[in-house]
Amino acid sequence: MDRRSLIKNAGIAGVLAAAAAPAVHAQQAVRWRLASSFPKSLDTIFGSAEKFAQTVKALSGGKFEVSLHAAGELMPAFGVVDALENSTIEMAQTAPYYFTGKNSIFAFGCAVPFGLTARQMDAWMEHGNGRKLFDAFCANYNIKSYSAGNTGTQMGGWYRKEMKSVADLKGLKMRLGGGLFGEAMAKLGVVSQNMPAGDVYQALEKGTLDATEFVGPHDDQKLGFNKVAPYYYYPGWWEGGAELEFFVNAKAYAALSPEFKEIVDVATRVAARDMTAKYDAFNPIAIKKLVADKTQLKAFPKDVMDAGFKASMEVFAEHEAKSPEFKKIHQDMRSFQRDQLLWERFSELRYNQYMTSVKL
């Protein structure tokens, strides 16, 4: 393998894997299929899968290639876990909380109400107990997990009517991405509906939906939600930092050579960092455009936040009572979160509060 070419194509990942180049040359060619739960139009999320495949190919000198398939091409958006469990595909890119219908623990691989921010999630997963606990759970589904990137704290969604108090949530027909948030919102009277992002615009336009949440300004603008729902609320208290995941078929991973396993490990890190950086770079640009197009930005009233917190804690308590495994993971996450919040009182929080109060 030409090392200058490798470094040019894969950046820092190339440097990390350069030593493996002679061994990679001797490998048999490997071809994987990756099914995403997202459309190609989402350059942030689907772009993470693209970055992963590009990096794998570069680091392996073309010996290891991953073909990418957007939602609906190989299977429905929410069919990827079944496909991995049955070894129909080698890999998927998805939001784990889409699969809480199978088991509520899936939510911890993505986001839970009043959960971790992007940096906190990285810390818990990679240097706390998060990845170890989540992978032990995913083993039941023939899956090994990796971060595919994080959206950061999301927006609270698009509404056809103004939400002046918690009473306005009663009877609201809302598209929810999945996870424990839907259960918490049901306690507040919301009628939750889970559907792929591509179907939401038409449902809002026809009035079969009153509201939707998705991600944040960059992605939401691409989907055009501002044209059919003028009120844009914040913050998305159910997704303080939503992590997208690469799910890898455990048998396919085990069959890889040590060198190719390392390439998968490195390529996921490159892709995850790229996705999170894109969101931080692109969201400020998009929110200015949305406001210029008459989007009405609104903070959730305090009674909505308080009611959401109370309902969420009730949901967690109910799941803990039913599942010792859920309780173990949830309590570990909250213990980690408490330490993170303590530290941020003296670091990010104070710094950002000051910086948003001065004129640059």
The contacts found for 75-84 with CB under 8 angstroms, 24 or more apart, are 75/35, 76/196, 77/37, 77/38, 77/196, 78/37, 78/196, 79/35, 80/35, 80/36, 80/37, 80/247, 81/141, 81/143, 81/247, 83/35, 84/141, 84/142, 84/143, 84/247, 84/248, 84/249
Reported pTM: 0.90
As a whole-number percent, the residues of the chain with pLDDT over 70 amount to 92
Cα–Cα distance measured from residue 112 to residue 122, given in angstroms and rounded to the nearest whole number: 15
Q: Which domains does the chain show, CATH number per domain?
A: 30-150+241-282 (3.40.190.170)
**How high is the pLDDT of residue 27?**
75
Sequence letter at residue 272: A
Q: In whole numbers, what is the pLDDT of the chain averaged over residues?
A: 93
Q: Compute the average pLDDT of residues 185-212.
A: 90
Q: Which residues are annotated as a binding site?
A: 154, 175, 213-214, 239
Select from 86, 85, 96, 31 the least CA-distant residue to 60. 31
Q: Which residues are annotated as a binding site for substrate?
A: 154, 175, 213, 239
Q: Model confidence over 221-269: pLDDT tens digits? A: 998 999 999 999 999 999 999 999 999 999 999 999 999 999 999 999 9
Structure tokens at 131: 């990845």
At 199, is the pLDDT very low, low, confident or very high (cuts 50, 70, 90)? confident
Q: Compute the average pLDDT of residues 32-37.
A: 98
Residue 1 has pLDDT above 60, yes or no: no
At 196, is the pLDDT very low, low, confident or very high (cuts 50, 70, 90)? confident
Q: Which residues are annotated as a binding site for Na(+)?
A: 214
Residue 61 has pLDDT above 90, yes or no: yes
